[in-house]
Structure 1
Amino acid sequence: MSDLQPTQLLEQQLFSDVIRERRSVRNYDPAVKISREELTEILQEATLAPSSANLQPWRFLVIDSPELQQKLLPIAFNQQQVVEASAIIAILGDLENIKLAEKIYGQAVDAGFMPEQTASSFIERYTNMFASMPQEAIRQIVNVDCGLVSMQLMNIARAKGYDTVPMGGYDKGKFVEAFGISDRYTPVMLIAIGKAATPGRPTTRLPIEDVTFFNEIPQE
């Protein structure tokens, strides 16, 4: 029998509902516009996702102008969710995120989460580490962290009654050029967000025993 209290069981069930009900939705009701205030709230909660050294390399370009959504449409291979969704959130990775280390760790000190000496030690350590790290290694870290924040964003949107679809199908070169993205940022994915006009298609998953192994990987 579970030791969880009734309120804990309810919270657990609600979370389970969110992750089970999330679908990749490609048909949106264009009449539904999510306010910038609510979009900001969703993004704020999404940034509670973990990141390497807490450097939070994600950056969000929110495209909610109908004119710019139309501009994005051919770049995203004419996928109609680009213009039907309330907004498109471009997840960008900041390859120079180490530049904000002092601000990030300074906030931790101000909040009483760590002593100033510890923060200074972390800043020095990670600054030196990133200075000697190959660009491709930094890019890999950034991509992983941006994947974490993206999944968190989509689950938060579902919890608030909205729908999303992650999009890797777009011309990154043309996107960078059209929206003036500097070399400091690497495009990771686009996420359409809005209210479904038709439900997302249910999908299946591989049996858990096909993808989970304890202690060792079986030999093929």
Structure 2
Amino acid sequence: MDTTTAIHQRRSVKHYDPNHKMSEVEIQELLELALLSPTSFNMQNWRFVVVTDPEKRAAIQAAAWNQAQVTEASITILLCADLHAHEDAGRYWVNAPEPVQEMLVPMIAPFYGSNPQLQRDEAMRSIGIAAQTLMLAAKSMGYDSCPMIGFDPIKVGEIIALPEHHVIGMMLTVGKAIKDANARGGQLPIEEVVFRDQFPA
């Protein structure tokens, strides 16, 4: 499936075949594609928790207003981020030429170190980009998905043993749809959201 088709066909699906299992090869392929998502300074600050254990998924569903897709989808992914990823900057550029390393690596820690708001903003940017990569990749593989924020992040964090200095950005279900998504609610006209050079006066 080409990218344009995947963008047009991707929808937030809430009804999945609970008997369908994704193979480990498919799960690995999906996550390897997610790892190609861009991040600032190549920090790769996202962390992906792929939940397949039935008990953990049931607990997460209970912390997500009992939304059925959490357990009916083939996999549930918690998209998280390490807020302190900037502290280990050298490893992000090990394959770069030495002049590039010497220029970029010393910039990373000072840029984020004393700014918790920027750390969190960067985490959410990275998670958002990775989420779209995952959703389009899933669609191209013949799967559907649903990004979710309707859950208790503290309870879910406890279930997945979220480490200190990490944050959950969203949850994503992936599986085989058994019911189409509802018709699109309505897109705003392009002239209302796209402007040339500046916002209109």
TM bucket (normalised to shorter chain) is over 0.9
TM-superposed CA distance for 1:97, in Å, is 1.0
Identity %: 32
2:44 to 44, 49, 56: 56
- Deviation string, structure 1 residues 42-78 (Cα, Å, up to 9, x no partner): 1111221211111111100000111211111111110
2:103 to 116, 121, 146: 121
> How many residue pairs end up in the alignment?
200
User: What is the SS of the residue equivalent to 2:32?
Assistant: helix
Amino acid in structure 1 at the alignment position of 2:43: L
State the one-letter code of the partner of 1:139: R
Kindly indicate whether residue 115 of structure 2 is the aligned counterpart of residue 134 of structure 1: yes
Residue equivalent to 2:32:
44
**What are structure 2's unaligned runs of at least 5 residues?**
none
CA contact (8 A) 1:87 1:192 kept: yes
Match of 2:169 among 179, 184, 188: 188
8 Å Cα contact 1:23-1:202 kept in structure 2: no
Match of 1:150 in 2: 131
- In the alignment, the residues of structure 2 paired with residue 99 and residue 195 of structure 1 have an alpha-carbon distance, to the nearest angstrom, of 39
Residue 33 of structure 1 aligns to a residue in which SS?
Answer: coil
Alignment of 1:197-208 (within 5 A): 197-203=178-184, 204-208=186-190
Q: Secondary structure at the match of 2:183?
A: coil
How far is 1:183 from its partner?
Answer: 2.1
Q: In structure 1, what is the equivalent of residue 192 of structure 2? A: 210
8 Å contact from structure 1 (residues 88, 191) kept in 2? yes
Kindly state the Cα deviation for residue 117 of structure 1 after the two structures are TM-superposed.
Answer: 2.9
2:12 aligned with 1:24, yes or no? yes
Is the CA contact (8 Å cut-off) linking 2:112 and 2:118 kept in structure 1? no
Alpha-carbon contact 1:55-1:98 (below 8 Å) kept: yes
Structure 1: distance between partners of 2:198 and 2:89: 37
> 2:12, 2:109 → 1: CA distance?
38
Larger Rg: 1
The 5 A counterparts of 1:163-178 are 163-178=144-159
RMSD (CA atoms): 1.4
CA distance 1:200–1:218, change in 2 (3 Å): same
Kept in 1: contact 2:56–2:159 (CA 8 A)? no
Hey, what's the Cα distance between the residues in 2 that align with 1:148 and 1:179?
22
Hey, what's the Cα distance between the residues in 1 that align with 2:50 and 2:43? 21
How far the C-alpha of 1:15 sits from its partner, in A, is 1.9
**Matched residue of 1:142: which SS?**
helix
